[in-house]
Amino acid sequence: MEIQIGRAALQLKQGDITRETADAIVNAANSSLLGGGGVDGAIHRAGGPAILEECRRLGGCEPGDAKLTTGGKLPARYVIHTVGPIWHGGRSREPEILASAYRRSLEVAMAKGLRSVAFPSISTGAYGYPIEKAARVALTAVAEFLQSHPEIERVTFVLFSSPDLQVYEAALQSIHLS
């Protein structure tokens, strides 16, 4: 599924984000930036040690912030590491931190002059954020950013499973962007 927002394309697809050829792919990291499981593990495995070597020099990352490294052996030139909120029931600013993770990732991409970014479904795995809620926050934050920053030309959400893709497609329709 793909829609236009201004001149930008917002695309939803199922796949493995380590295979994406966007200028940057976003990693759902933890605040140490020293690797983990899930998509974090997949990106470090596929991208090789150069990514972790750069991560070590970044001094970690706050939830809601984002930092850039090389893409190593990945098809993508860069990895933008961001830290989503751990779900604690929704009354600990989880929506705000999740929106910030998406916004800051796009700001970091723009500052580097990148035009295309691919996101995983941040915080909806180990961090337990209910995916229906996360999808609405994510798509709203990205759409708002694209409306005011034409420098970013393409954002792709790469969902690891078909059910996850369906949740994002329903969310996109329900926030009237499609």
Which spans of this chain sit near ligand APR (rule: CB under 6 A)? 16-18, 28-30, 36-42, 84, 120-127, 158, 160, 164
Q: To the nearest whole angstrom, how small is the minimum distance from the Cβ of residue 91 to ligand APR?
A: 19
Contact (CB, 8 A) for 112 and 66: no
Burial 97-111 (b: 16+ CB within 10 A, else e): bbbbbbbbbbbbbee
In whole angstroms, give the CA distance from residue 128 to residue 14: 20
Smallest separation, CB 89 to ligand APR (Å): 16
Query: Between 12 and 28, whose beta carbon lies closer to ligand APR?
Result: 28
As a whole number of angstroms, the distance between CA 149 and CA 21 comes to: 21
- Is the Cβ of residue 2 or residue 7 nearer to ligand APR in the bound state? 2
> Strand locations in the chain, DSSP E?
2-5, 8-14, 24-29, 66-70, 78-83, 116-119, 154-159
C-alpha angle with apex 43: 37 to 48, nearest 5 degrees?
115
The residue among 90 and 150 lying less far from ligand APR, judged by its C-beta, is 90
What tokens appear for 2 in the block? 């793909």
Least separation in angstroms between CB 11 and ligand APR: 14
Residue 70 contacts residue 114 (beta carbons within 8 Å): no
Q: Of 23, 40, 65, 164, which one is the catalytic site residue?
A: 40
Residue number, 37 or 90, with CB nearest to ligand APR? 37
CB of 38: closest distance to ligand APR in angstroms? 2
**To which H or E segment does residue 5 belong?**
strand 2-5
- The reply to whether 40 belongs to the active site is yes
- Which residue is closest to ligand APR by CB? 36
- Give the active site residues: 40
